[in-house]
Structure 1
Amino acid sequence: MKKLLTLTLLTIGLSGNALAEGVAYDPYEGYNRFMFGVNDRIDRHFLSPVARGYRAVTPRPVRSGIGNFFNNLRDIVSVGSNLLRLNISKAGSDLVRVGINTTFGFGGLIDIASEAQMPNNKNTLGDTFASWGWKNSNYFVYPLLGPSTVRDALGNTITSVYSPEKLAFGNGAGYWAATGVKTLDTRANLLDLTDGVNQVALDRYTFIRDAYMAARAKQIGTTLPGSEDDYVPSFEEEGGNTGNEAAAATEQPSAEPVTTTQPPADSVVNSTTSAADTPADNTNSGRPAPNTIYEEILSR
């Protein structure tokens, strides 16, 4: 999990009515609300206070180095994901990033590749599944990790079994220590963003769910799922273009099908680019825009 924020509610089509009606992609709401409550209590009573202490006592350069180290390991996941998508160019670029940062960046503590403006193709196994046709997936709250989808939860579970952290630290105490530091550093980086969410006068579960799903749909270049239950196009459909056809039929600007003005859907995984290309709207000054928040979270 590892920048997962400026559009307003209107920009992504999440008005008050949309928030109330957009439940087609949450058929497991009973479980999801329960797990959301569990995760929230753990975060409020343990993880968030510890993260605040960590941020207070750890110098910014040290935190930057820790973040760079784990981002370098994420590039290894991106290599495998892009290979599975047969995107040899991006896989090669990711591999070069890992090589440069590991060799000349003291094991990845310094992000030399980004300083050299090398492409950053961060993506996950969930992005690979989406590029294979599993674009629409129902909302799912992952224990401890929070907002996800069935598709992405499956991808994250597989990745956790074969994680680069295990490659670097083995399966013993070193791995669990590294996982703890990674979790703490990620949570500390998101404190300001999540504090903003907590100030929004809406049902927090609904707000977070719809914000996450809108940002994730934009990332993979599709629309929010409708009544389909984890719909995967059949091989009889031409090119599995159901997501793009649905996008063409909607008037939501953020759900437009991928055209020549955007990368193809199977490459829209770098949310930093998407957020940067989005015009800011200051009408909700002081209130974080929901999909902007989760574009930031998803890219971490």
Structure 2
Amino acid sequence: MSAIQRTRSMEEGPNSHPPRQYLGRALLVASLLLSVCVGCANSDQRPEAKSESGAGQADETEPSNGSDDDIEPTVVEYTDYNDPLIGVNRAVFAFNDVTYRYLLIPVSNGYVAVVPSPARRSIDNFFYNLKTPIYLVGNLLQLDFGAAGDNIVRFGMNTTTGVLGLFDTADAWLGIERAEAHLEDALISYGAGYGMYIVIPFLGGSDLRSAPSELMDVALNPVFHLTENPERFMIQSFDYLQNSASGADRYNTLREKSEDPYIYFRNLYLQGVQRDADYQ
């Protein structure tokens, strides 16, 4: 998600706004109000849905009896890893660190405290369904036409019977599970390596294979094309918040238990890349 979007340089007249401005307002209202209301009202009847996977996002199920104090920073140490951008990466990491601890985590904690878990699941479903074009292109780039077909069916069904994607009826009723795919998945299937480790403002750890995928996700996101600022920025910011809120507080726990937070989170990321490669 792009953290900062360009704003208009000139004020337009009341009759010159294209329809996408009103679509943006509709999307914003749907994500902030309709999702919460429907999620709360149907907390006992909502079809089960899987959370969207992604770095930094925790499972939406209820936490276990263990506390965050039980989390141990045990990752593989990459002592000989070549990190040519370590100077820049450390600077960006320091910026992200302050942003996470003093802005994102407090806001995320407030969001989790105020919005019930069923409503958060519905909001996650809504945004996942909205971003179907991203996954569809990712499927086609891998020539995975079966998964592409599943995504088309899921979008049509969840948009209608799932009330604009709030409920994952395609999975609950027909067993058609999510078939999430990105440009990065296609590059992996073509044998592309991850290159060097980089830290992206706000988004955190990434690499030369993953970063272009993030940009393509922005370009393919319907929100980017159907809305204008400030609605676009508000919707994308809210999507970023809801996607990372459930696992945001664990960042502080891991950070406090690591001797060098930058090295620890870098190694954690690299371990995840290696783990994913082992399952390819």
* 1:77 aligned onto 2:134: yes
Distance 1:183 1:205 in 2: 22
Which of residues 149, 154, 159 is equivalent to 2:207?
149
Against the structure 1 CA distance between its residues 60 and 9, is the aligned structure 2 distance closer, same or farther, given a 3 Å change threshold?
closer
Distance 1:208 1:74 in 2: 28
Q: Which residue of 2 aligns with 1:160?
A: 218
- TM-score scaled by length of structure 1: 0.65
- Give the unaligned 5+ runs of structure 1: 222-254, 259-264, 266-300
- 2:184 touches 2:213 (CA, 8 Å); kept in 1? yes
Distance 1:54 1:83 in 2: 36
Distance 1:123 1:91 in 2: 9
For the residue of structure 2 that corresponds to 1:144, the secondary structure is: coil
For the residue of structure 1 that corresponds to 2:79, the secondary structure is: helix
Distance 1:86 1:191 in 2: 35
* 1:55 aligned onto 2:97: no
CA deviation profile, 1:134-159 (whole Å, cap 9, x unmatched): 12321111111111111111121132
1:67-146 to 2 correspondences below 5 Å: 67-116=124-173, 117-146=175-204
1:170-181 to 2 correspondences below 5 Å: 170-181=227-238
Identity score, percent? 30
Q: Which amino acid aligns with 1:44?
A: R
Against the structure 1 CA distance between its residues 108 and 209, is the aligned structure 2 distance closer, same or farther, given a 3 Å change threshold?
same
- 2:136 touches 2:148 (CA, 8 Å); kept in 1? yes
- Residue 9 of structure 1, CA deviation: 7.9
- Give the unaligned 5+ runs of structure 2: 2-51, 59-71
CA deviation profile, 1:231-256 (whole Å, cap 9, x unmatched): xxxxxxxxxxxxxxxxxxxxxxxx4x
Q: Which amino acid aligns with 1:20?
A: T
Distance 2:274 2:159 in 1: 33
Q: Which amino acid aligns with 1:133?
A: G
Distance 1:9 1:200 in 2: 6
Compute the RMSD of aligned alpha carbons. 2.4
CA deviation profile, 1:2-58 (whole Å, cap 9, x unmatched): 6416xx988x7x1xxx3323x22x221111111001111111121211111122222
CA deviation profile, 1:97-153 (whole Å, cap 9, x unmatched): 222211111111112223243232212111112222212321111111111111111
- TM-score scaled by length of structure 2: 0.69
Moved more, 58-67 or 37-46: 58-67
Against the structure 1 CA distance between its residues 120 and 162, is the aligned structure 2 distance closer, same or farther, given a 3 Å change threshold?
closer
Distance 2:181 2:131 in 1: 8
Q: Which residue of 2 aligns with 1:19?
A: 78
Q: Which residue of 1 aligns with 2:263?
A: 206
- 2:129 touches 2:155 (CA, 8 Å); kept in 1? yes
Q: Which runs of 4+ in 1 moved over 6 A?
A: none
For the residue of structure 2 that corresponds to 1:134, the secondary structure is: coil
Distance 1:171 1:129 in 2: 31
